[in-house]
């Protein structure tokens, strides 16, 4: 049972990450590969504040969101100067920069040693040390992010995002200041990713920079490409597939170490097959 709960918690965290990235990549068509950086900023903010000040998890999560909003508005402004492939490369540069800061600002992050002993959330004197209780929190926040994503993508704002993805110049001719839309959705997306980071830090109770490397951003991208770009349910489906697949491999009888190594290969093969036969993902509305 604990194993199932563990998987469900991971699915929730990665659903939030997938939903958040889908707003930028799937709906707005900006190939951002830096989501792990915002995930990491949320995680580190929670870890540092809870450890150093004994701050409440929820407050640390809110501060993490604020920090991510500030940093992502700077990154988003810089990225707005780029287009297409250059945008992707630029975004990936930011992931590397943030990762380096986590690794090298040792006074704050303890670098590669990581931050152990992060506490669990506490609500009205109730500590969610039980994984079952933690799962409920994860579900609540995942549903919240899902509903927020639905509200955004079904609004007039969401329709403009898709028009930007299709032809930014033309939607400008019809009177939309597209950079405001792109920046705002980038910031909202980063803020959501930071929620996932806070949850992750408090759940595992230990973080180090290796969880927020570029490869992790690519993993999140794979989730939405697989599940479906520009589809919120698709993002959740993608997270379910990507988390459960390696477990399935183990059940089929691969030894644990081989299953772990097979993971990357299987993801790669799966993505290639998908790009050939169904470029919009399992339930997506947009082809890259």
Partner 1 sequence: MSLLSTHKLKKIFNGVSAVNGVSLSFEPGKITSVIGPNGCGKTTMINLITGMMPFDDGNITIGEHTKIDNMPAYDVATYGITRTFQQPRLFEQMTVLDNILVVLTERNVFKSLFERHDKYHIDIAEKILRRVDIFEKKDNLAVNLSYGQRKLLEIARVIAMGERTDGESHILFFDEPFAGLFPEMVKLVSSILKELRDEGKAVVLVEHNMDLIRELSDHVYVLDAGEHLAEGTAKDVFSNRGVIEAYLGD
Interacting residues with partner 1 (CB under 8 A): 152, 154-157, 159-160, 162-163, 165-167, 169-178, 180-181, 184, 285-287
What is the distance, to the nearest Å, from the Cα of residue 139 to the centroid of all Cα atoms in its chain? 15
Quote the radius of gyration of the chain (alpha carbons, Å). 19
| Of 83 and 154, CB closest to partner 1 | 154
| Least Cβ distance, residue 146 to partner 1 (angstroms) | 17
| Least Cβ distance, residue 154 to partner 1 (angstroms) | 7
| Least Cβ distance, residue 166 to partner 1 (angstroms) | 4
| Of 163 and 207, CB closest to partner 1 | 163
Q: List phi, psi (to 5°) of 171.
A: -70, -25
| Least Cβ distance, residue 269 to partner 1 (angstroms) | 26
Q: How far, CA to CA in Å, does 117 sit from each of 39, 134, 216, 249, 253?
A: 19, 16, 23, 32, 34
| Of 130 and 167, CB closest to partner 1 | 167
| Of 203 and 286, CB closest to partner 1 | 286
> How far is the C-alpha of 241 from the C-alpha of 10, rounded, in Å?
12
| Least Cβ distance, residue 159 to partner 1 (angstroms) | 5
Q: How many CB atoms neighbour CB 199 within 10 A?
A: 26
End-to-end CA distance of the chain, in Å? 39
| Least Cβ distance, residue 153 to partner 1 (angstroms) | 11
Residue 194: name the closest of 279, 75, 287 by CA: 75
* 238 Rama sector, left if φ>0, alpha if ψ -120 to 50, beta otherwise: alpha
| Of 162 and 274, CB closest to partner 1 | 162
Q: How far, CA to CA in Å, does 252 sit from each of 62, 117, 123, 220?
A: 42, 35, 40, 25
| Of 6 and 179, CB closest to partner 1 | 179
């Amino acid at each position: 049972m604990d194993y199932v709960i563990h998987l469900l918690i991971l699915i929730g965290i990665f659903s939030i990450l997938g939903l958040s990235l889908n707003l930028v990549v799937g709906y707005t068509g900006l190939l951002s590969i830096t989501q792990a950086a915002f995930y990491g900023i949320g995680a580190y903010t929670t870890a540092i504040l809870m450890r150093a000040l004994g701050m409440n998890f929820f407050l640390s999560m809110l501060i993490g969101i604020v920090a991510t909003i500030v940093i992502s508005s700077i990154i988003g402004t810089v990225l707005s100067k780029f287009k297409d492939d250059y945008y992707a490369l630029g975004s990936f540069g930011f992931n590397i920069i943030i990762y380096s800061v986590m690794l090298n600002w040792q006074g704050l992050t303890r670098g590669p040693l990581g931050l152990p002993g992060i506490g669990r959330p506490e609500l009205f004197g109730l500590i969610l040390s039980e994984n079952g209780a933690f799962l409920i929190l994860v579900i609540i926040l995942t549903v919240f992010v899902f509903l927020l994503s639905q509200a955004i993508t079904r609004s007039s704002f969401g329709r403009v995002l898709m028009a930007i993805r299709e032809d930014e110049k033309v939607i400008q001719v019809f009177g939309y200041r597209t950079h405001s839309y792109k920046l705002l959705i980038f910031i909202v997306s980063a803020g959501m990713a930071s929620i996932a980071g806070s949850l992750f830090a408090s759940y595992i109770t230990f973080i180090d920079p290796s969880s927020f490397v570029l490869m992790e951003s690519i993993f999140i991208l794979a989730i939405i490409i697989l599940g479906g770009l520009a589809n919120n349910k698709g993002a959740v489906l993608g997270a379910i597939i990507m988390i459960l697949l390696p477990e399935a491999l183990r059940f089929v009888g691969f030894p644990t170490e081989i299953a772990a190594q097979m993971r990357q290969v299987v993801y790669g093969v799966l993505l290639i097959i998908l790009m050939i036969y169904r470029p919009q993902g399992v339930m997506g509305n947009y082809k890259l």
